[in-house]
A = this chain, B = another copy of it.
């Protein structure tokens, strides 16, 4: 449990009373009660308010706010306010602002705007975190700490350049090792002094965001910046823990955000929290995958849904309203996949600046007689009733998909073979097929213990880090089914090619050699022709993007290409390996293949879909204390019926159910069943 003070699914969100006159506060208190809100995240962007100049701190407004909330039964998620530095700091110490990718020194503005290697920023952010922790360490309202906000963005200033060189020196020990790792003899880039190295941006080695002359350098700069920001977090974390070792600390992550290695970050978070902002056009399975990834960051530990909008965003191109019921539906989707909180951005809609058209629990009209408020209040009542039933419940997946941020960076920095390759898309293709089959799946890191799974899928595992190949071999040898794809096993952790034939370190496990890689234009495709039948996997499917020209070296050829000069060459192989097997998908298949292929693999392992139901009805499960909670989430506008098998009780209605359960359009059922 995140904090036992509040043993239920927390309900509330971001609250900025400092932006309002005092006469609104009693109305806030009244409406929070009406809505069943019991948690407020405060002080997210109040640094300039609490520290009006270098020498002065004034927390009186915060004291009053926390006391008021507490007096009204609302607990506090207390932010450290360091997500944006004060204007006076940028004026007095220009070093705190960043230099951007284009090489431009920024001036004061925006948020997430501090150079992570600025000594001034580090000194003052640490200082205020410490002061807050010391001040409020004993306040009964505080449930959890929220460090800064949505960390992100890179800096390319001179402070960062110097820190990067030190970081490299620690990583490589010598310039000789660095020159080898980056293959600097290419294009005459040999470095003889550390200070010859400059950050890779549009003034030096990169352009367009993801193009680089030197993948090794660019990869290291991403590692370095992710770590630099993490260091800022850790400085605050450590200050806080000095005073409140008993309180959990988090910072709100952003799901599939590309720039930070969240698996590395999660090691330093007591609890993962994240902000979920799907658009009307986001596939529900992508949201589901992101929840599962956030849950996977700390090996299945429940997480906090820190932000979502009750109605609409402001920063998308077309900010459609969440249709009636959808806010509740998506809230339960988060809970179904591991969230133990349902929090909103924000509780009262702001009156000015760029987020004033972002939905809120209390809208500009200011009263409770709105659709949005009614839906919010109804959900608040439900969560109250659910009490602690679901808290700390875990996933029980037998299938895992490997996800790796450093691999993602390497794939996106690659020059060739195609600009069409998007790592997240390829991962999502596998996830989506399992989602539609309603087979629970964990998203795991390359460092994960694989031994508890029956099937492990590592799509486009381009970069194979030390030890992973051995782990995958052990997993297969012990009876597991390992799956990987084209453009895997190509490079090591420095983006240097593993010589001797692709897929490099995975070649033995897979029993194949990929001789060439053909890149298809977007309007081109090939076919996958299955030899014979493999359960539901049979006949012909479409494929495209990349086609490996592979040669089986021990592996069985399950399917072949249907056209082009490599017609008849293997498109899908399986290699028996010890008690298990290793599959290689040599191209990027269509959704029909994905569905049939994963049905085939899971059937072989005896992994059954949770329920039978029409597409659009999502199912997943959490387990706890021998109890199994089956979530049925109907994303269709019409009612849908699922065959649930065992009897149980619907937690939301209190009714006993068994067999076929009909869920209303955009409705939810949570069926407690014996585990």
Residues of A within 8 A of B (CB): 16, 18-19, 45-49, 52-53, 81, 83-88, 90-91, 102-111, 181-193, 195-198, 200, 202-205, 212-216, 280-281, 311-321, 323-324, 350-358, 363-366, 370-372, 414-420, 494-497, 499-502, 513, 515-522, 549, 565
Contact = CB atoms under 8 A, between A and B. Distances in A.
A370 B516 CA distance: 9
The count of identical subunits is 3
Contacts of A48: 184-185, 188-190, 192
Nearest to A85: B188
Given A84-B188, A186-B350, A416 B314 contact: yes
A155 to B, nearest CB: 14
A321 B518 contact: yes
Contacts of A351: 183, 496-497, 499
A323 B184 CA distance: 32
Contacts of A358: 416
15 contacts: A48-B190, A84-B189, A87-B191, A91-B193, A109-B200, A109-B205, A280-B521, A311-B516, A312-B519, A317-B420, A318-B420, A351-B496, A352-B497, A365-B500, A365-B515
Q: Identify whether the interface residues of A are mostly helix, strand, loop, or mixed.
A: loop
A107 B496 CA distance: 25
A555 to B, nearest CB: 17
Contact of A281 (B85, B323, B494, B521): B521
B216 A352 contact: yes
Contacts of A502: 364-365
B366 A108 contact: no
A442 B414 CA distance: 40
Nearest to A195: B91
A321 B370 CA distance: 57
Given A91-B196, A190-B48, A193-B91, A109 B352 contact: no
Given A190-B49, A500-B365, A109 B183 contact: no
A16 B515 contact: no
Contacts of A497: 351-352, 356, 364
Contacts of A46: 185, 188
Contact of A185 (B16, B204, B516): B16
Contacts of A317: 418-420
A314 to B, nearest CB: 3
A363 B497 CA distance: 11
Contact of A49 (B81, B185, B316, B522): B185
A192 B19 contact: no
Contact of A321 (B45, B108, B419, B516): B516
A462 to B, nearest CB: 11
Contacts of A500: 364-366
Contact of A355 (B103, B106, B321, B415): B415
Contact of A45 (B49, B186, B323, B519): B186
